[in-house]
Amino acid sequence: MRSKAATSKASSAFSKQGKSAKGKEKEQAPEQLKVLQRAAESSHEDDNEELDDQEENEEATDEDEQEFEDVEEDDAVPVDQLSDAISVDEDAVAQQKVEIDNAIAMERIRETIRLDPSLPWTETLVVSYPETVDVDVDDDLNRELAFYKQALHCAKEAKTLAAKHNFPFTRPADYFAEMVKSDAHMERIRQRLLDESATIKRSDEKRKEREGKKFGKQVQMEKLRERERGKKEMEERLKGLKRKRKDALDDAQGNGEDFDVAVENAISDRPSKRGKTDGRGGKHTSRQQRDKKFGFGGPRKYSKQNDKSSTDNFQPRGGKPTRGGRGGARGGAKRPGKSRRVAARSRS
Amino acid sequence: MNDLEALLPHVKKDAKLDSKNHLNLLPELADLNNCNNALYFEARRHEDLYLWAAKTPNGPSIKMHVQNVHTMDELKMTGNCLKGSRGILSFDKAFDESEWGRLTKEVFTHIFGVPPQARKAKPFVDHVLTFSLLDNKIWFRNFQIVEKDPLQPNGPPQTSLVEIGPRFVLTPIRIFEGAFGGATVYSNPEFVSPAAVRSALNKERGNRYKSRKFQEEERTGRKDHRKLEEDQLAVSKVFA
């Protein structure tokens, strides 16, 4: 048996040799077919046993080729013709997978099985797409879109062809028959679609609600704060006004109108003029009060530090007494002990 | 693969063939059933599926590897069609560009094309079987032809498609001259058997393990090598 390497070379080099052999091949075709069929039968057993095993199968095929070398010229080219075509590198060729692309044989086979071209289109319903599907294989969306386009184009073309051949294409609306998928199955599909859309809707709603909540809370807080601020301001203004006008209200009723205007001014967001009130009464609050409120003058830096007197002074400083703790012990009588309390209760 | 049976009204299903090594029985079986085309699904190792598409009396036959199978039972495909209606066969142009493609197209036309006289066939056409050649693989899709837009029942007929399923991808492996056997006339050089892929993966994992172990060993060796021998004046000796 010839080495496998040589055969593989032969097949790869076939493309060069095959062109010249083509003419001869055509003439021999019918008898070649018969011989090949015989070959197929004779090699049937070993071929079948080892079909899954690529290498083994290769050998089997090679054997065929060797037996019918004179017939299958396209696959078996003498080694000495090859040596100039391809440099011999045993290892590299042995590694390479043997490729067989026997175009002539395939064409012959196709000729034998081909349907009669005179058959009307309605026999086969085959439509070819005039373009190749040329998209990225891993890009699922585009790939499916390409398939869809192909199918759509073919469907449209088939429809026109059907119209031409007077072939019923569209199913009439009143034609009912068994479908590929059962009604139960379609119902399940429909249910699933509905479920899906419901889920989407629900999640959408949920999201919107959540966002609204977040935002709404902010808005409400803002509003409350605004209202409070407004109220406080109003009170302050009124208070200030009252204090200033106290004497005026006491003695003279004639100034009532004036007061009303002032109140209105104070209440309205934009007091008409600060200077107006200033012109008569001077300042809103006394200097002292304002100093007290906002802090002016007096010691600031060491005001809370201990000094000579406060170091020894253990009296608590003024201010609110703290609840509980030690503070509690300070005020009032102590709670009597348990035994005393029990005794007191029994006495009464 | 009952799906294909449902789609093709002229199909006769036969029981499972118990032996994978006697494929030559298949033509006889087909002959018994008066069939001249055969599709034979061959499952191997419970995970690989091969499809033989053959013209039975005397060839040719195509062996293909089936991948990415989605059956009609899946709920994502919403189309439906008449059981037994004749589908349009659609091939893309790439089939005409190579010899094996032309042969495959011819064989598929024979097998998947429903003859008009088929007894169970319905007289209308409402689905398209799409075969596309992409990346040297044959992609199979099945679409329903919807002629009326369900949203506008009174509008002009607008053809659109809804997928029915099944869908799968076929990688051609070999084309044989005879039915289920015979001399090879085409073999796909790019095909790598799934077993080989798995074994390569396993091997790689094994290699990773091996290299890790080797590194561990080396590390311990280095550590031992670096250890200083005990000093004469070491604390434990002096104050023993």
pLDDT of residue A51: 40
Q: Which of A36, A133, A192 sits opposite B183 (nearest CB)?
A: A36
Q: Assess whether the previous peptide bond of B60 is cis (omega < 30° from 0).
A: yes
Dist CA B64 CA B62 (whole Å): 6
B175 neighbourhood in chain A, CB within 8 Å: 106
Q: Is the pLDDT of residue A203 over 90?
A: yes
Same domain, B49 and B152: yes
Q: Do B177 and A106 contact (CB within 8 A), yes or no?
A: no
> Which chain B residues are Cβ-neighbours of A135 within 8 angstroms?
134
B91 and B209 in a single domain? The answer is no
Helix orientation angle between A103-113 and B99-112, rounded to the nearest 10 degrees: 30
pLDDT band at A125 (very low <50, low <70, confident <90, very high): confident
Contacts B161 to A, Cβ<8 Å:
148, 151-152, 155
Q: Could you report the per-residue pLDDT of B170-214, keeping only the tens digit for each?
A: 999 988 888 888 888 888 888 888 889 999 999 999 999 999 999
Backbone angles phi and psi of B188, in degrees to 5:
-80, 115
pLDDT over 90 (residue B219): yes
- Which range in A11-25, A174-188, A213-227 is most confidently predicted, on average pLDDT? A213-227
With bands split at pLDDT 50, 70 and 90, how would you rate the model's confidence at A250?
A: low
Binning pLDDT at 50, 70 and 90, where does residue A319 land?
Answer: low
Q: Is residue B233 part of a domain?
A: no
CB B96 within 8 A of CB B105: yes
C-alpha distances in angstroms, A145 versus A89, A152, B138?
A: 46, 10, 16
3-class DSSP assignment, residue A127: strand
Please report the ipTM that was assigned to this predicted complex. Answer: 0.79
CB atoms within 10 A of CB A153: 17
Does residue B235 lie in a domain region? no
pLDDT tens column, A13-47 = 444 444 444 444 444 444 444 444 444 444 444 44
- Domain housing B151: 2-191
Average pLDDT over residues B34-40: 84
Same domain, B222 and B122: no
Q: Are B112 and B38 contained in the same domain?
A: yes
**Structure tokens given for A2:** 């010839």
Distance of alpha carbon B82 from alpha carbon B6, whole angstroms = 10
Percentage of residues of chain A with pLDDT beyond 90: 8
Of B6, B78, B110, the CB nearest to A193: B78
Q: Is B198 on the interface with A (CB under 8 A)?
A: no
B187 and B93 in a single domain? The answer is yes
Choice among A35-44, A125-134, A216-225, B142-151 with the minimum mean pLDDT: A35-44
For residues B30 and B114, membership in a common domain is answered with yes
Look at chain B and report how many structural domains it folds into.
Answer: 2
- Which tokens belong to A262? 């002032």
Name the DSSP class of B96.
Answer: G
> Is B240 within the bounds of a domain?
no
Mean pLDDT across A92-118? 71
To the nearest whole Å, the CA of A325 is away from the closest chain B CA by: 60
Residue A224 pLDDT grade (very low, low, confident, very high; cuts 50, 70, 90): very high
Beta strands B167-178 and B137-146 are: antiparallel
We report the CATH number of the domain holding residue B104 as 3.40.50
B129 pLDDT higher than 80: yes
Q: Is B160 helix (H, G, I), strand (E, B) or coil?
A: strand
- Average model confidence (pLDDT) across chain A: 68
Q: Are B51 and B137 in contact (CB under 8 A)?
A: no
A46 vs chain B: nearest CA distance in angstroms? 10
- 76-115 in chain B: CB under 8 A from chain A: 77-78, 80-97, 99-100, 102-103, 106-107, 109-110, 113-115
Q: C-alpha A137: how far from its chain's center?
A: 21
Greater confidence (B24 vs A164) lies with A164
Q: Is the peptide bond before B166 cis (omega within 30 degrees of 0)?
A: yes
Residue B130 in contact with partner chain A when CB distance is under 8 A = yes
Indicate the range of A161-175, A323-337, B62-76, B82-96 predicted with least confidence.
Answer: A323-337
CA distance B61 to B53: 6
What pLDDT, in 10s, does the model give residues A251-283?
Answer: 555 555 666 666 676 666 554 444 444 444 455
Q: Residues near A321 by Cβ (< 8 Å), separated by ≥ 6?
A: A327, A330, A331
Contact assessment for residue B188 and residue B173, using Cβ atoms and an 8 Å cutoff: yes
Query: How high is the pLDDT of residue A247?
Result: 63
Which pLDDT value is given to residue B154?
63
Return left, alpha or beta for A42; rule: phi > 0 is left, psi -120 to 50 is alpha, else beta.
Answer: alpha
A282 vs A276: CA distance, rounded Å: 10
Most confident option among A53-57, A158-162, A320-324: A158-162
Binning pLDDT at 50, 70 and 90, where does residue B221 land?
very high
Integer Cα distance of B86 and A121 in angstroms: 13
A positions 43-102 inside 8 Å of B (CB): 43-45, 47-49, 51-52, 54, 57, 61, 64-65, 97-102
Least confident segment among A10-19, A172-181, A182-191, B58-67: A10-19
Q: Is residue B234 part of a domain?
A: no
Task: State which amino acid sits at residue B131.
Answer: F
CA distance B228 to chain A (A): 51
Q: Does residue B239 belong to any structural domain of this protein?
A: no
The pLDDT of residue A201 is 94
> Do residues B80 and B138 both lie within one domain?
yes
For the ranges A72-81, A187-196, B109-118, the maximum mean pLDDT occurs at A187-196
- Whether residue B141 sits in one domain with residue B214: no
Most confident region among A168-182, A217-231, B117-131 by mean pLDDT: A217-231
Q: Nearest CA to B72 among B145, B166, B6?
A: B166
Task: Give pLDDT, residue A230.
Answer: 94
Confidence bin at A328 (pLDDT 50/70/90): very low
Cβ separation B125–A115 shorter than 8 A: no
Residue A274 tokens read as 């600060």
Q: Token match 């199955």: residue?
A: A185
Report the C-alpha gap between A23 and A10 in whole angstroms: 19
Q: Indicate the burial class of B127 (C-beta count within 10 angstroms; 0-12, 13-18, 19 or more).
A: buried
- Assess whether pLDDT exceeds 70 at residue B120: yes
Q: What is the pLDDT of residue A304?
A: 77
Residue A212: pLDDT band (50, 70, 90) is confident
pLDDT of res. A132: 78
Phi, psi of B135 (to 5 degrees): 60, 35
pLDDT of residue B180: 83
pLDDT at A198: 94
Question: Where does residue A332 fall: left (phi above 0), alpha (psi -120 to 50 degrees), or beta otherwise?
Answer: left
Q: Is residue B236 part of a domain?
A: no
Residues 126-155 of A with CB under 8 A from B: 126-135, 137, 143, 146-148, 150-152, 154-155
Domain identity same for B72 and B160 = yes
Same domain, B56 and B78: yes
Does a structural domain hold residue B178? yes
Same domain, B206 and B184: no
Q: What is the phi/psi pair of residue A187, to 5°? A: -65, -40
| Whether residue A331 has pLDDT greater than 60 | no
Using alpha carbons, list the distances in angstroms from residue B152 to A156, A191, B78: 20, 22, 19
- Determine the residue type at B134: L
Radius of gyration of chain A (CA): 53
CA-CA distance, B213 to B197, in Å (whole number)?
24
**Measured between CB atoms, which of B22, B78, B186 is closest to A106?**
B186
Question: What pLDDT shows up at residue A69?
Answer: 40
Find, in chain A, the residue whose alpha carbon is nearest to that of B87.
Answer: A125
Confidence tier at A248 by pLDDT (50, 70, 90): low
Please tell me the distance from the alpha carbon of residue A205 to that of residue A213, in angstroms, as a whole number.
12
- In the prediction, which pLDDT does A82 show? 45
Q: Is residue B92 part of a domain?
A: yes
Q: C-alpha distances in angstroms, A124 versus A115, A319, B64, B88, B159?
A: 9, 105, 23, 8, 22
> How high is the pLDDT of residue A124?
77
Average pLDDT, chain B: 83
Q: Please give the pLDDT value at position B152.
A: 63
Do B77 and B61 share a structural domain?
yes
